[in-house]
Chains A and B, each alone.
Chain A
């Protein structure tokens, strides 16, 4: 049976409506949309049990009517094989049911407790669905079942030449659905649909989704409508028959697939690329099983007859016809029971007409001399109209299968099974069963999936606030109080390097340490300048560690020395560590891009003995490094940098000069206050922050005024370490960002720079933020209340939060006065015009500083300018009316 009047447009041809439908027609189309809209709205009230009950009855109806509908389809379209269409109808019913039956499509469809997320289903509403001539009734059955499962209404517009069979399929599905409780109007079918009708419905405001199964014209129109669309277009399935394949299985599978419904499934095989080693054997097998192998002359005849020489696309008259009928029609002599016409080709493209999609039992074959050649030809076929659709490989070589999967752009790559039936899913594999193949962007589609229920739903995600895990990480052991250094003896070591500075060696501190190191230990001293560690110094230190094969490092000094030792340890244990890269910026420690090395070439213990009471470097995960050549300063931050042991022995700070005592002491207070109001603050860090603040207010003035006061020195040394434990885990804030920028620009000591900013920053953080900082860790804005808690802790009095904050600011100012700090930047002798010129650069530096990321208030650039100027003017700048009004 040959048909010549089938109005299947050549693939690639696009038909657009010249004008819109008439007014009468519009009224008709509007009535369809209105019915569907009401049905979809009513459907939203249905439960999962309701829809599952309806779906089951529809599936049974589909199975009962499979043969009837298949016969109607063949009679009307004169395409394909009735028996195969029965199978298709049954797959569309039974196999789809099997896939969807236990899946939730109403209400909560998935719970993901580990992510605190619920997924909930929302129907799309009204779908406008175009169905093809090639798989008419099966596509309708499939779409009806999936639509009911997902509580959607569908307006069908079948291919005009398959309208009656599709309308009958819609009727059967509709009546069954409504009899079992589905809303009236849930399915409708456009009568005598035209291109203007389709265009009108595609653009209708009440249509939520277009599901277009058909040729590229239909798909392009759907995507051009501006509506969400599922569009499925043509394929051109390459098949690689590789030499390791099971030839018997492969040949039968290809014949099964290519002759199934006379090749009308767009996933069916089009060109088989066969390794030369098995080429002749494969062709013989094809011939033995009923294929006709065309000679050169017959191939030319076939090319001229079944491919349109003008367009290069298949001739509609051949679509869905039997091989023997096609042969007879074009004057090719074959046996009457010929299943398949096989035409050898020598390339892909317009010069090789049979290399395109052929929805009929004509198969091109190509002899490949190598795997690379075979893959290239498959790529060519894939790109000749089949991008994103389907590809097939027969092979036992896993490497070749993976390589094929890698180079071929197809939504479905079917292995050792028939392409057409394999792509449908659930028969030969575990793909999702479908009658709509998403072809991805290669095919102008939005998905590569086998379309099914998930594409007919809006999936809503109910995301609850997650309680992020927090942490409190400090060194394994901390020894404190006078003579704590004696504990050094409990750490066995073969070779220990003491990293220190010349002054400490000179005043005998190194000797004290050396005396307490575990007996039998070889001790070497690495003396480095007491300044922010430089790359060159670090390198020298690492060389020493390597030379002596050290297993223990003792850092004896202020923050700079301890920082240097941390970096030496890092480079010694992980020589490949790139310090520049490790200093890359990050927002959240747990999500940082650059990770610190976990595999270590060596293991070393780092013990830190601070000789100042401020930085707390002995317990922090930070280290600052300077590259003098480039003039860059990089901050490293990672808990792997934290020393293993801290020895907080006040005997090493008894001789600290007054100025250094004040500077480091205020640094310590700033650490504690900033950690206390940080967005990362926790009960664990609060306890440390509050205790450190209490100790500083009580003992810093004493240590400053009576440097030999042992108790004061001891308590300040502990305070520095305790505050550092707080900010190691809660971080600091905008005070540090400002101090870093100002200190670097005007070469002002860090503690002094902090002191100049501190009262202003307290007032700033206690005010209603112009911009709140996003923070999953905190509940509400509490900075002002936490300052008030500090005031209570210090016993400063005051009624209400505002007064308490003001008392804290006053107490801080009194402390700074007592420590004889300059109270304004102006007092440092920095001219106003010079400062003014520096402000933009300092604001930029402060904003780039990671310190403020945990500040309770997000600093705006303008606010940073204001804070700098307040610090410049100092005392007398008004801080009134800055406190949170609710606190009054």
Chain B
């Protein structure tokens, strides 16, 4: 089951996901379909999550990412650190 994120507590959701990462998971799925806009704090939390996932060799898959958020990740050069499913 993908982990569903909410815009109101996105940063804590991402931090919690990062904290629970373990090498055995192999893949972490996160549902972004409720995220209309992403702020700088959430971007930093995502960056942190990406770094930890890379260290533990966990693939992070983001689903339901809207076009504006996708472009934001792209511009911040974060998109290449995640996998995306529609």
Contact = CB atoms under 8 A, between A and B. Distances in A.
Nearest to A42: B40
A841 to B, nearest CB: 56
Nearest to B74: A41
B39 interface: yes
A45 B38 contact: yes
Interface string B43-86: 11001000000000000000000001101111111000000000
A206 B77 CA distance: 10
B68 A184 contact: no
A38 interface: yes
Interface residues of A, number: 14
Given A183-B40, A184-B40, A42 B72 contact: yes
B77 A45 contact: no
A42 B39 contact: yes
A38 B69 contact: no
Contacts of B37: 45
A41 B68 contact: no
Residue from A35, A37, A41, A183 with most neighbouring chain B CB atoms (10 Å): A41
Contacts of B47: 38
A125 interface: yes
A538 interface: no
A40 interface: yes
Query: Which of A37, A38, A39, A45 is most buried by chain B, counting CB atoms within 10 A of its CB?
Result: A38
Contacts of B69: 45
A44 interface: yes
Contact of B41 (A40, A184, A206): A184
Contact of B68 (A35, A37, A44, A206): A44
A184 B11 CA distance: 14
Contact of A44 (B39, B40, B75, B77): B75
A207 to B, nearest CB: 13
Contacts of A39: 40
Interface residues of B: mostly helix, strand, loop or mixed? helix
What 8 A-B pairs have minimum CB-CB distances, sorted nearest first? A41-B75, A41-B76, A184-B40, A183-B40, A41-B72, A38-B43, A45-B37, A45-B68
A47 to B, nearest CB: 10
A735 B68 CA distance: 53
Nearest to B44: A38
B40 A38 contact: yes
Interface string A26-59: 0000000001011111101100000000000000
A185 interface: yes
Interface in B6-61: 37-41, 43-44, 47
A426 B34 CA distance: 46
19 contacts: A35-B40, A37-B77, A38-B40, A38-B44, A38-B47, A41-B43, A41-B72, A41-B73, A41-B75, A42-B39, A44-B75, A45-B38, A45-B68, A45-B72, A125-B75, A183-B40, A184-B40, A184-B41, A206-B77
A44 B72 contact: yes
Contacts of B71: 41, 44
B76 A38 contact: yes
A125 B72 CA distance: 11
A38 B77 CA distance: 9
B77 A42 contact: no
A39 B71 CA distance: 13
Interface size class of B (residues with CB under 8 A): 10 to 19
Contacts of B68: 44-45
A42, A183, A184, A206 interface centre (most CB from chain B within 10 Å): A42
B23 to A, nearest CB: 27
A184 B44 CA distance: 11
A350 B39 CA distance: 57
Contacts of B74: 41
Contacts of B75: 37, 40-41, 44, 125
Interface of B: 37-41, 43-44, 47, 68-69, 71-77
A805 B69 CA distance: 53
Contact of A185 (B38, B40, B73, B77): B40
Contacts of B77: 37, 206
A657 B39 CA distance: 87
Contact of B38 (A37, A42, A125): A42
A45 B41 CA distance: 14
A592 B52 CA distance: 64
A42 B74 CA distance: 10
Contacts of A40: 75
Centre residue among B39, B40, B47, B68 by max chain A CB count within 10 A: B40
Contacts of A35: 40
A739 B60 CA distance: 67
Contacts of B73: 41
Interface string A200-211: 000000100000
Nearest to B66: A45
Contacts of A41: 43, 71-76
Contacts of B38: 42, 45
B39 A183 contact: yes
Nearest to B77: A37
A291 B8 CA distance: 65
Contacts of A125: 75
Nearest to A182: B40
Which one of B69, B74, B75 has the greatest number of beta carbons of chain A within 10 Å? Answer: B75
Nearest to B71: A44
B76 A37 contact: yes
A39 to B, nearest CB: 6
A882 to B, nearest CB: 43
Nearest to A47: B37
Contacts of A38: 40, 43-44, 47, 76
A40 B77 CA distance: 12
Contacts of B76: 37-38, 41-42
Nearest to A37: B76
A193 B83 CA distance: 39
Nearest to A181: B39
Nearest to B37: A45
A739 B40 CA distance: 70
A44 B74 CA distance: 11
A125 B77 CA distance: 12
Contacts of B44: 38
B68 to A, nearest CB: 5
Nearest to A178: B40
B75 to A, nearest CB: 4
B51 to A, nearest CB: 13
Contacts of A184: 39-41
Nearest to B42: A42
